[in-house]
């Protein structure tokens, strides 16, 4: 098939296009209207249709392939591997649904899930979907304050959690944080259900806390039929990563999401029933929702849930999983691949990776060096895909399942079917031409699968996302981009990561990309720092591959000169950072996103802000050190 025609059809006749796609899933009752866009920007897909995510992910597959693997939970933290067939998964989900019902949870109630990457977390998500409860998974690494604000926003009837997560062999107590968060919150849940992994002590609150194992034992023979939901009933709330400020509670529907996932599994991820999918993300993020739990199962694939680091027990762990479970499609993030690139390549060459067809990367810009390296190592196509928590599935990518269009280095690809992607000039609001930089926006209606609203706050949905440009209602991604003459987009960073040097507006991402092309640069962050003369100047923080070359002042000065030379050459002197500092690591969120705002704050002597999502607080001190070393001179 020709992708251009496929795309055109999705844009010109969306109702016919998505009606056809709706046949990829099971409906209890078909819809009466494919699209209701009578109240823009609120789009309703498959109005009147009745379906269920859990039915499509689990029950639907039990008849034809009930004995096949559905969920494989691997933990290198506790050295366990648990595999559940579709039949076994249904049994566990029914038990969990019965457990939740016995705790008073019903249709429309919120269930907050604060759990590590264990099978019970997936059971709980699917059980909520089964009975029409609305789950809200909060990333297990978040501290009490962030958790409390999400509890207050979602007002859950039940919180499901565990004694602890584990990282690098160390237990990370969850229960203690959860108790603290509940104390801080005003919307206290009536019940808390706890999986005890025997990793950390737990204090039980009588009357509130329930034990998973005991409740499960009391519900071994439970049968809980699927509750058929209207397509536009909410399925879940998921808060955005919070890279740019207060997280937004993204609310998603049932039918549109199921159809969008089924389509993307077919056209983007090319997954076939019976094969194995491996997404290395976490259930706390959108990738975990769409491509660890729901997407692969809706496509009848086995899905792998992995708890552990990519380099423990050694850097071969993921590839050993690919070999053992004959993974055909793998999904990860550039940050994880950069971690692997620092390891000796023998680890990935040890395993038989012949089952693997493609590696999908998303979440942050994919630099050319990383992309080329992993593509050569694996010998499979690397498929970048650009999207957001808000959209639930890729906005830009290459839909290899439609047409084998070539990928282009540095570009996530072209607009995906259903998305009317445009670039608008920031000041005039006019559409950009080829190779002209603008804000990436999407014309309404957003396709199926995208957010319905901000949970409990329709006005915030309109104000936040649809009000960037005067006089036109378009969805703003808050990312910069350019499109080449062939329709390939390049993402140039977030609109609030732009710096202004002596009147020139520069994307920090462009400077980072340029610095990355220096052979000794492993990772880089560029931020704009206040400057009396120029307004702002760019400052770069670099992790080098070969640290012996930056071991002393002379070495650092030489490397800095070389790096600045690269920027001068590629972007011009206007983009040249005022300084390049060498650091052992960069502050990132646990989902691998650079905390540029915090780095910038430190450079300007301000408070680095909310750091609950930070991976390693020591990284901020290292930035301080780098700056202070300079001040001493
Ligand atoms: P918040 O909106 O709360 O600040 P966030 O934007 O970090 O949080 P996510 O929805 O997880 O939360 O991230 C989406 C963003 O990640 C995109 O808007 C974009 O900036 C970036 N991104 C995702 N995938 C890619 C990609 N393939 N290439 C470039 N950037 C990407
Ligand atoms: Mg965002």
Over residues 20-34, the pLDDT tens digits come to 999 999 999 999 999
pLDDT number for residue 612: 77
360 CB-contact burial (10 Å; exposed 0-12 / middle 13-18 / buried 19+): buried
- Concatenated DSSP letters for 291-324? IIIIHHHHTT-EEEEEES-TTSS-TTHHHHHHHH
Q: Report helix, strand or coil for 483.
A: strand
Quick check: is 167 in a domain?
yes
Quick check: is 317 in a domain?
no
Beta strands in 225-270 (DSSP E): 229-230, 236-239, 249-252
Q: How far apart are CA 20 and CA 15, in angstroms?
A: 9
- For the chain, report the end-to-end CA distance as a whole number of angstroms: 63
Please work out whether the CB of residue 550 comes within 6 Å of at least one atom of ligand 1.
no
Q: How far apart are CA 44 and CA 37, in angstroms?
A: 6
Counting ligands in written order, which one lies closest to the CA of residue 593?
1
Distance (Å) of CA 31 to CA 23, 49, 165, 230? 11, 4, 42, 9
Distance (Å) of CA 304 to CA 162, 248, 309? 20, 28, 14
Decide the pairing of beta strands 170-173 and 164-167. Answer: antiparallel
Counting ligands in written order, which one lies closest to the CA of residue 245?
1
Quick check: is 400 in a domain?
no
Domains: count for the chain: 2
Please work out whether the CB of residue 384 comes within 6 Å of at least one atom of ligand 1.
yes
Quick check: is 352 in a domain?
no
pLDDT number for residue 633: 47
The DSSP element (H or E) to which 603 belongs, if any, is helix 596-603
Tell me the CA–centroid distance for residue 392 and ligand 2, in Å. 12
How many residues make up the chain in this entry? 633
Asked if 73 contacts 293 with a C-beta cutoff of 8 angstroms, the reply is no
The residue whose CA has the least distance to atom 30 of ligand 1 is 364
pLDDT tens digit sequence for 496-540: 777 877 777 777 887 888 899 899 999 999 999 988 877 888 999
Expressed as residue numbers, the domain containing 557 is: 502-632
The residue whose CA has the least distance to atom 15 of ligand 1 is 388
pLDDT number for residue 244: 59
Please work out whether the CB of residue 587 comes within 6 Å of at least one atom of ligand 1.
no
Please report how the helices 255-267 and 14-22 are oriented relative to each other, as an axis angle in degrees rounded to 10: 80
- Which of 222, 245, 264 finishes a domain? 222
Counting ligands in written order, which one lies closest to the CA of residue 390?
1
> How far is Cα of residue 305 from the mean position of the Cα atoms in its chain?
15
Tally the C-alpha atoms within 13 A of residue 254's C-alpha that lie toward its C-beta: 34
Q: How far apart are CA 568 and CA 123, in angstroms?
A: 54
Beta strands in 450-488 (DSSP E): 453-454, 474-483
pLDDT number for residue 243: 60
pLDDT tens digit sequence for 456-481: 999 999 999 999 998 999 999 999 99
CA dihedral 452, 24, 269, 437 (to 10 degrees): -40
- Which of 171, 195, 222 finishes a domain? 222
Q: How far apart are CA 439 and CA 496, in angstroms?
A: 11
Q: Report helix, strand or coil for 566.
A: helix
Average pLDDT, the chain: 94
Q: How far apart are CA 196 and CA 458, in angstroms?
A: 38
- Concatenated DSSP letters for 351-393? S--TT--EEEEESS---HHHHHHHHHHH-S-EEEEB--TTTSS
The residue whose CA has the least distance to atom 12 of ligand 1 is 241
Pocket residue to mutate for ligand 1, from 153, 241, 242, most atoms within 8 A of Cβ: 241
Distance (Å) of CA 65 to CA 82, 98, 242, 358? 18, 24, 40, 25
Closest CA to 192 of 92, 201, 181: 181
Quick check: is 12 in a domain?
no
Closest CA to 116 of 192, 180, 171, 190: 171
Decide the pairing of beta strands 209-211 and 191-195. Answer: parallel
Counting ligands in written order, which one lies closest to the CA of residue 281?
1
Tell me the CA–centroid distance for residue 497 and ligand 1, in Å. 12
Residues of the chain scoring pLDDT < 50 = 633
Tell me the CA–centroid distance for residue 363 and ligand 1, in Å. 6
pLDDT number for residue 509: 80
Tell me the CA–centroid distance for residue 437 and ligand 2, in Å. 19
The residue whose CA has the least distance to atom 23 of ligand 1 is 363
Helices (H), 174-290: 175-184, 212-217, 255-267, 286-288
Atom of ligand 1 nearest to the CA of 243: 4
Closest CA to 612 of 195, 54, 145: 145
Decide the pairing of beta strands 229-230 and 209-211. Answer: unpaired
Tell me the CA–centroid distance for residue 388 and ligand 1, in Å. 5
The residue whose CA has the least distance to atom 17 of ligand 1 is 388
Tokens of 94: 């029914």
- CATH number of the domain residue 549 falls in: 3.30.300.30
Q: Report helix, strand or coil for 279.
A: strand
Please work out whether the CB of residue 389 comes within 6 Å of at least one atom of ligand 1.
yes
Asked if 18 contacts 259 with a C-beta cutoff of 8 angstroms, the reply is yes
Q: What angle do CA 156, 160, 165 make, to 5 degrees?
A: 135
Quick check: is 303 in a domain?
no
- Which of 188, 222, 256 finishes a domain? 222
DSSP state, 594?
B
Tell me the CA–centroid distance for residue 284 and ligand 1, in Å. 15
Quick check: is 263 in a domain?
no
Tokens of 315: 């850097």
Distance (Å) of CA 446 to CA 14, 34, 315, 487? 11, 13, 40, 19
pTM over 0.85: yes
- CATH number of the domain residue 193 falls in: 3.40.50.980
**Omega before 295 within 30 of 0, i.e. cis:** no
Distance (Å) of CA 209 to CA 94, 404, 516, 594? 21, 53, 50, 37
pLDDT number for residue 242: 65
Please work out whether the CB of residue 391 comes within 6 Å of at least one atom of ligand 1.
no
Please work out whether the CB of residue 332 comes within 6 Å of at least one atom of ligand 1.
no
How would you label 527-564 residue by residue, b for 16+ Cβ within 10 Å and e otherwise? Answer: bbbeeeebebbbbbbbbbeeeeebeeeeebeebbeebb
Q: What angle do CA 573, 575, 576 make, to 5 degrees?
A: 65
Q: How far apart are CA 103 and CA 108, in angstroms?
A: 14
Q: Report helix, strand or coil for 328.
A: strand
Q: How far apart are CA 296 and CA 124, in angstroms?
A: 17
Asked if 583 contacts 542 with a C-beta cutoff of 8 angstroms, the reply is yes
DSSP state, 27?
-
Please work out whether the CB of residue 362 comes within 6 Å of at least one atom of ligand 1.
yes
Q: Report helix, strand or coil for 3.
A: helix
Quick check: is 199 in a domain?
yes
Q: Residue 5: phi, psi to the nearest 5?
A: -70, -45
């Amino acid at each position: 098939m020709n992708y251009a025609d496929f795309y055109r059809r999705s844009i010109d006749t969306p109702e016919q296009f998505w009606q056809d796609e709706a046949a990829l899933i099971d409906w209890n009752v078909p819809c009466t209207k494919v699209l209701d866009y009578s109240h823009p920007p609120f789009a309703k897909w498959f109005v009147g249709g009745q379906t269920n995510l859990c039915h499509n992910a689990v029950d639907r597959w039990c008849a034809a392939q009930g004995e096949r693997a559905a969920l494989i939970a691997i933990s290198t933290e506790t050295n366990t591997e648990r595999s559940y067939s579709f039949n076994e998964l249904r049994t566990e989900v029914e038990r969990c649904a019965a457990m939740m019902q016995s705790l008073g949870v019903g249709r429309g109630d919120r269930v907050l899930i604060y759990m590590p990457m264990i099978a019970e977390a997936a059971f709980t998500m699917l059980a909520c979907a089964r009975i029409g409860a609305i789950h809200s998974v909060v990333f297990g690494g978040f501290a009490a304050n962030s958790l409390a604000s999400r509890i207050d926003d979602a007002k859950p009837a039940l919180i499901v959690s565990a004694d602890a997560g584990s990282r690098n062999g160390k237990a990370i107590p969850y229960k203690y944080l959860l108790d603290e968060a509940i104390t801080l919150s005003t919307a206290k849940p009536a019940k808390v259900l706890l999986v005890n992994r025997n990793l950390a002590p737990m204090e039980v609150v009588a009357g509130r806390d329930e034990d998973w194992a005991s409740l499960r034992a009391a519900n071994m023979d439970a049968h809980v039929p699927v509750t058929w939901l209207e397509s536009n009933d909410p399925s879940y709330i998921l808060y955005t990563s919070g890279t740019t400020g207060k997280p937004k509670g993204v609310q998603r529907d049932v039918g549109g999401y199921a159809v969008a996932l089924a389509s993307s599994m077919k056209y983007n991820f090319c997954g076939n029933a019976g094969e194995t999918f491996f997404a290395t993300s976490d259930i706390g993020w959108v990738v975990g929702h769409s491509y660890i739990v729901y997407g692969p199962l809706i496509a009848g694939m086995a899905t792998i849930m992995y708890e552990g680091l990519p380099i423990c027990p050694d850097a071969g762990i993921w590839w050993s999983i690919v070999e053992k479970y004959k993974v055909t499609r793998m999904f990860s993030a550039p940050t994880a691949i950069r971690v692997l690139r620092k390891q000796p390549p023998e680890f990935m060459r040890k395993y038989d990776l012949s089952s693997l067809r493609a590696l999908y990367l998303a979440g942050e810009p994919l630099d050319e060096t990383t992309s080329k390296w992993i593509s050569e190592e694996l010998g499979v196509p690397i498929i970048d895909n650009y999207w957001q928590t808000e959209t639930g599935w890729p906005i830009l990518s290459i839909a290899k399942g439609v047409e084998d269009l070539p990928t282009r280095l540095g570009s996530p690809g072209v607009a995906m079917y259903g998305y009317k992607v445009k670039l608008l000039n920031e000041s005039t609001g006019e559409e950009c031409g080829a190779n002209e930089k603008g804000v990436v926006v999407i014309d309404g209606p957003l396709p199926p699968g995208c957010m319905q609203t901000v949970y409990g706050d329709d006005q915030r949905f309109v104000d936040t996302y649809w009000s960037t440009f005067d006089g036109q209602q378009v969805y703003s991604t808050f990312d910069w981009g350019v499109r080449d003459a062939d329709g390939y987009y390049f993402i140039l960073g977030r609109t609030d990561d732009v710096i202004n040097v002596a009147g020139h507006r520069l994307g920090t991402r462009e400077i980072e990309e340029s610095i990355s092309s220096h052979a000794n640069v492993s990772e880089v962050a560029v931020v704009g720092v206040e400057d009396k003369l120029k307004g702002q100047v760019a400052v770069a923080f670099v992790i080098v591959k070969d640290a012996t070359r930056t071991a002393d002042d002379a070495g650092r000065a030489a490397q800095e000169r070389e790096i600045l030379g690269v920027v001068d050459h590629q972007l011009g002197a206007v983009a040249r950072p005022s300084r390049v500092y060498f650091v052992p690591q960069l502050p990132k969120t646990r989902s691998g996103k650079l905390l540029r705002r915090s780095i910038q704050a430190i450079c300007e002597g301000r408070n680095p802000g909310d750091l609950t999502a930070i991976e390693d607080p020591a990284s901020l001190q290292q930035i301080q050190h780098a700056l202070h070393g300079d001040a001493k001179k």
